[in-house]
């Protein structure tokens, strides 16, 4: 979308004109902007047509995408941005965000993650505009003791009830997450399932000749992503099919422990830990993969997979997937058609499905084609974002 000069409507709301159509401004709120593990936030924002995105947060934790407009504490506080961010974490003050807006008044705020909704709520009240909050996963599943381990999350637990009462709309990335959000006391009438989707124009189905005997796992290296079960299953599968290799894209607190596990299973030459990689590079690896595997699990703290966006990206690439029957994953995988679902924490079942896909190129091709068609029908980001804009419209007319 073309860049716009921000203007102000009769009600003081920032807006602009494009092709004779009024384009409203939405402040997309994330405490830490542009994290490498969260490309889905900007992917959705880039698809807006009747709204213009301004990204608003405390700090930038990644590179700002080209053409994106953003404001964070670094823009007004320089070297004092970290202490100021810590103060805002404790107080939920709005003055710094108001200073960043410099008189602009977006039509609404869209906060990503429930924690961010709690921090955006005072600003929305101050500006007199609606707040939309998207729940993605941990914000709907973590137990209260787990939430109290982080100052940000503790504030979320304390003020979550106020968010439920005063927020205009609550969007859940899966039906599984909606059930969890309703169980926390959020109102059913204002709580909707809306899949973010994937860009089916940018992600094209790969050519069959691109495939290599690679098992791909893309995830933060944390317990609920189930990486240890990928490694254990791969060890069993590779003992029977020595031609396959495992590539792990992602980083996290379990990195050293998982590398040690791979070494103890004699997989040093067969497993590559490549760390967190840019989104374009992740998509490149998907095009080479024989399959993508995400056997997420529910942890003792309640953490579970909200949806498994990476499964949709692999499917859009024409790659069959293996996921676990956990969280929102079954909403993205059609068992036996676009991929396989296995029980949680079951490396033997996972290994059997890996071998089945390795052995049958016709099955891989068929599943990959069905996966692509499934995503085109149900998860295309352009149609999904049109629906999101309709949700914005409804919030503003109520």
Distance of alpha carbon 348 from the chain centroid: 29
pLDDT of residue 2: 30
Buried b (16+ CB within 10 A) or exposed e, 10-40: eeebbbbeeeeeebbbbbbbbbbbbebebbb
Segment 119-137 mean pLDDT:
98
Give dist(CA 159, CA 77) in Å, integer. Answer: 27
Sign of the C-alpha dihedral computed for residues 154, 160, 162 and 163 taken in this order: positive
Give dist(CA 213, CA 238) in Å, integer. Answer: 11
pLDDT of residue 4: 33
Fold identical between 7-197+380-397 and 208-378?
Answer: yes
Residue 11 CA neighbour count, 13 Å, CB half = 10
Tokens of 193: 């399932």
Would you kindly state where each structural domain of the chain is located, as residue ranges? 7-197+380-397, 208-378
Mapped onto helix, strand or coil, the DSSP state of residue 183 is: helix
> Closest Cα partner for 310 from 217, 376, 221, 171?
217
Segment 347-358 mean pLDDT:
98
Q: What superfamily would CATH give domain 208-378?
A: Glycogen Phosphorylase B; (3.40.50.2000)
Whether residue 113 is predicted with pLDDT greater than 90 in this model: the reply is: yes
Query: Which range, of 1-10, 118-127, 170-179, averages the lowest pLDDT?
Result: 1-10
- Categorize the per-residue pLDDT at 14 as very low, low, confident or very high, splitting at 50, 70 and 90: low
pLDDT of residue 15: 62
Mapped onto helix, strand or coil, the DSSP state of residue 80 is: helix
> Closest Cα partner for 229 from 327, 298, 172?
298
Give residue-wise pLDDT tens across range 185-201.
999 999 999 999 999 99
Whether residue 20 is predicted with pLDDT greater than 80 in this model: the reply is: no
Segment 345-367 mean pLDDT:
98
Whether residue 234 is predicted with pLDDT greater than 50 in this model: the reply is: yes
pTM (global) more than 0.85: yes
Whether residue 17 is predicted with pLDDT greater than 80 in this model: the reply is: no
User: What element of type H or E holds 18?
Assistant: strand 14-18
Q: CATH number of 7-197+380-397: 3.30.1330.60, 3.40.50.2000, 3.90.25.10, 3.20.20.70?
A: 3.40.50.2000
∠ Cα 31 33 34 (to 5°): 155
Give dist(CA 364, CA 330) in Å, integer. Answer: 19
Percent of the chain with pLDDT over 70: 95
pLDDT of residue 22: 77
């Amino acid at each position: 979308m073309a860049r716009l000069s921000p203007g102000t409507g009769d009600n003081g709301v920032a807006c602009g004109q494009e092709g004779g159509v009024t384009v409203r401004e939405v402040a997309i709120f994330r405490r830490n902007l542009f994290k490498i593990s969260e490309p889905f936030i900007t992917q959705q924002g880039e698809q807006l047509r009747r709204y213009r995105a301004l990204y608003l947060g405390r700090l930038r934790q990644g590179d700002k995408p080209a053409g994106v407009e953003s404001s964070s504490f670094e823009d007004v506080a320089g070297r004092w941005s970290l202490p100021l961010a810590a103060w805002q974490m404790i107080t939920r003050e709005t003055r710094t965000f108001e200073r960043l807006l410099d008189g602009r008044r977006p039509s609404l705020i869209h906060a990503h993650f429930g924690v961010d909704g709690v921090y955006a709520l005072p600003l929305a009240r101050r500006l007199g505009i609606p707040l939309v909050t998207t729940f993605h996963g941990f914000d709907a599943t973590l137990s209260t003791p787990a939430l109290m381990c982080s100052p940000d999350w503790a504030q979320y637990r304390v003020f979550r009830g106020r968010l439920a009462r005063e927020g205009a709309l609550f969007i859940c990335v899966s039906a599984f997450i909606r059930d969890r959000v309703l169980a926390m006391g959020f109102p059913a009438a204002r709580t909707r399932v809306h899949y973010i989707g994937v860009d089916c124009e940018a992600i094209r189905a790969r050519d069959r000749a691109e495939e290599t005997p690679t098992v791909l796992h893309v995830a933060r290296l944390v317990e609920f992503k189930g990486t240890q079960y990928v490694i254990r299953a791969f060890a069993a599968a590779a003992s029977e099919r020595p031609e396959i290799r495992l590539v792990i894209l992602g980083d996290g607190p379990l990195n050293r422990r998982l590398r040690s596990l791979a070494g103890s299973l004699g997989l040093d030459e067969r497993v590559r830990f490549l760390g967190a990689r840019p989104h374009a590079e992740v998509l490149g690896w998907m095009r080479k993969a024989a399959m993508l595997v995400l056997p997420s699990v529910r942890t003792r703290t309640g953490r579970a997979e909200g949806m498994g966006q990476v499964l949709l990206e692999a499917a859009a690439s024409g790659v069959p997937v293996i996921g676990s029957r956990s969280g929102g994953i079954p909403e993205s995988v059609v068992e036996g058609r676009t991929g396989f679902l296995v029980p949680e924490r079951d490396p033997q079942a996972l290994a059997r499905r890996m071998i089945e896909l390795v052995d049958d190129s016709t099955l891989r091709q068929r599943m990959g084609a069905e996966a692509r068609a499934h995503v085109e029908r149900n998860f295309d980001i352009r149609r999904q974002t049109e629906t999101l804009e309709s949700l914005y419209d409804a919030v503003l007319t109520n």
